[in-house]
Structure 1
Amino acid sequence: MDRHIEVVGVDHGWSGMKTVSQVFTTGVKEITTEPAFYNNVVEFNGSYYKVGGKRLEVRDLKVENDNFYILTLAAVAKELNRRGMRNANILLSVGLPLTRFGAEKQDFIDYLSKEKEVTFRFDNEQYRIKLARVSVFPQCYAAVADRMKTLPKRVVVVDIGSWTIDIMPIEDSAPNEAECITIREGLIKCMRTINEECMRQYGKELSEEDIQEIMRTGKHEKLPQKYLTIVEECLRAYVDKVYNILLEHGYNLEVTEIVFVGGGANVVKRFGNYDGNNIQYIEDVKANAKGYEYLGRLYLSTHKKEFGLG
């Protein structure tokens, strides 16, 4: 490997793992024997892990076991494969909610950098990476970092993710940390509510994939209307809850400059009642991953001597 450093941004969501180009379900399961098929299989330290598939159950922390480490290897491999690479020096650029940043940052860095050089296989192809650094940036801020100059001087960024809603006021391109809020009312809870209502009315549940398709597009070609009606009603109620959270924290939805980001930006845009010029939507679910990579590249460009590049 040469001295070039490849910056790879990874967004570790509870519903989906994202890089600047890749999205896959946050699922991982160890395979006890050598697999017959190697698609989406990580081979690491003599064990095999199938990634994707059924989503992991949410835990308080992502560093409690090896699941997110294996998922990170898969995300890096998918991204390097897109770039035509198998061996690379990596600056791994990731994120945490600002409200938990100080408490969890070092543990996340230690977790992701426990091995400085890693050789593993993914899709039966060998990858060898050397970890130059793990950089952690604020989630939510990252989603708008590359377009900060185009945003109003004062803006509130609302990142609706799979497990949390992050509300971040930004003034003069800097987060107002004293006013940042993280609330555990993300899309996973919304999907649970939808299926509770489906069970109550019809005794059956929907798959998360079906619900997510409606979240993304506002429609579903094959779903019976009775289920579609439940999903739509619950999504409208969820958006009302998001609006009420903002109102409770003093934000006037008719005049406050707001940018909705994350997977929930689609939901708010399609099922919400406010559509004034003061509200913007960044519907790209990879926005945070792209922001982490953007911020990682900025860090690399200003700290070349740290990496022996300048």
Structure 2
Amino acid sequence: MIKYNDTYIIGIDHGYGNLKTANTVTASGVKVHDIEPPFKKELLEYDGKFICIGENHKSFTADKTTDMDNYYLTLYGIAKELSLAGITEANVHLAVGLPLMWYSEQRDRFSEYMMQNENVEFIYNNKRYSVHIEGVSVYPQGYCAVYDRLKDMSGVNMIYSCIYCK
């Protein structure tokens, strides 16, 4: 998370295995309950629903806007980053990624999906958050990882990601 003027830029990678932010990695599973569950680890409360995050992994869907799961994961990612900074109210600009093969076709729809509520309030682990989403930037996945280093790169470059590399 980076602060720019009065806005926090929060990068979120909505992977099927894990949701990643600058400072966190969490299994991307979403389980929605109509009543408060007895076990409340990683509990998001939004729109009258109780959403448990991270208990498993999200199943594959080619379009990440077909259900509310990625929106819930976004709120969770925002809460995680703000929580680490000790902030509960913020103006936020989201930087999100899509797989390169779907980027051109889905970027506008994904941006609209992320902006479905410009002002959003939710509770994460019993703490209330009030967020104004100022905008969304959608990038091909991997781009955000090298954006600040592009000026130092020349020629042909490849991005390699390995969760098992040390």
Query: How high is the TM-score relative to the length of structure 2?
Result: 0.90
Tell me the equivalent position of 1:263.
163
- How far off is 1:152 after superposition? 4.6
Tell me the equivalent position of 1:16.
18
Tell me the equivalent position of 1:88.
90
Contact kept? 1:41, 1:51, Cα under 8 Å? yes
- How far off is 1:153 after superposition? 2.2
1:46 aligns with 2:39: no
Tell me the equivalent position of 1:108.
110
Tell me the equivalent position of 1:210.
none
CA–CA separation in structure 2 for the residues paired with 1:86 and 1:145 = 28
CA–CA separation in structure 1 for the residues paired with 2:35 and 2:6 = 37
Tell me the equivalent position of 1:154.
156
Greater RCO, CA 8 A, separation 6+: 2
1:78 aligns with 2:80: yes
Unaligned runs of 5+ in 1: 158-259, 267-282, 284-310
Deviates more, 1:134-143 or 1:50-59: 134-143
Contact kept? 1:143, 1:261, Cα under 8 Å? no
Tell me the equivalent position of 2:67.
65
Contact kept? 1:121, 1:127, Cα under 8 Å? yes
- Residue aligned with 1:75, SS: helix
Amino acid at match of 2:23: S
Aligned residue runs from structure 1 range 66-215, under 5 A: 66-157=68-159
Tell me the equivalent position of 1:35.
37
CA–CA separation in structure 2 for the residues paired with 1:61 and 1:8 = 22
Question: Which string of whole-angstrom CA distances, capped at 9 and with x for unpartnered residues, describes residues 246-294 of structure 1?
Answer: xxxxxxxxxxxxxx22436x2xxxxxxxxxxxxxxxx6xxxxxxxxxxx
Question: Which string of whole-angstrom CA distances, capped at 9 and with x for unpartnered residues, describes residues 9-43 of structure 1?
Answer: 10111100011001100001012322334320110
Query: How high is the TM-score relative to the length of structure 1?
Result: 0.50
Unaligned runs of 5+ in 2: none
Identity %: 31
CA–CA separation in structure 2 for the residues paired with 1:135 and 1:118 = 18
Aligned residues: 162
Amino acid at match of 2:142: C
CA–CA separation in structure 2 for the residues paired with 1:97 and 1:58 = 13
Contact kept? 2:34, 2:48, Cα under 8 Å? no
Amino acid at match of 1:17: L
CA–CA separation in structure 2 for the residues paired with 1:131 and 1:29 = 24
The higher radius of gyration belongs to 1
Amino acid at match of 1:263: I
What do you get for the CA RMSD once the two structures are aligned?
A: 1.7
Tell me the equivalent position of 1:244.
none
CA–CA separation in structure 2 for the residues paired with 1:70 and 1:262 = 26
- How far off is 1:84 after superposition? 0.9
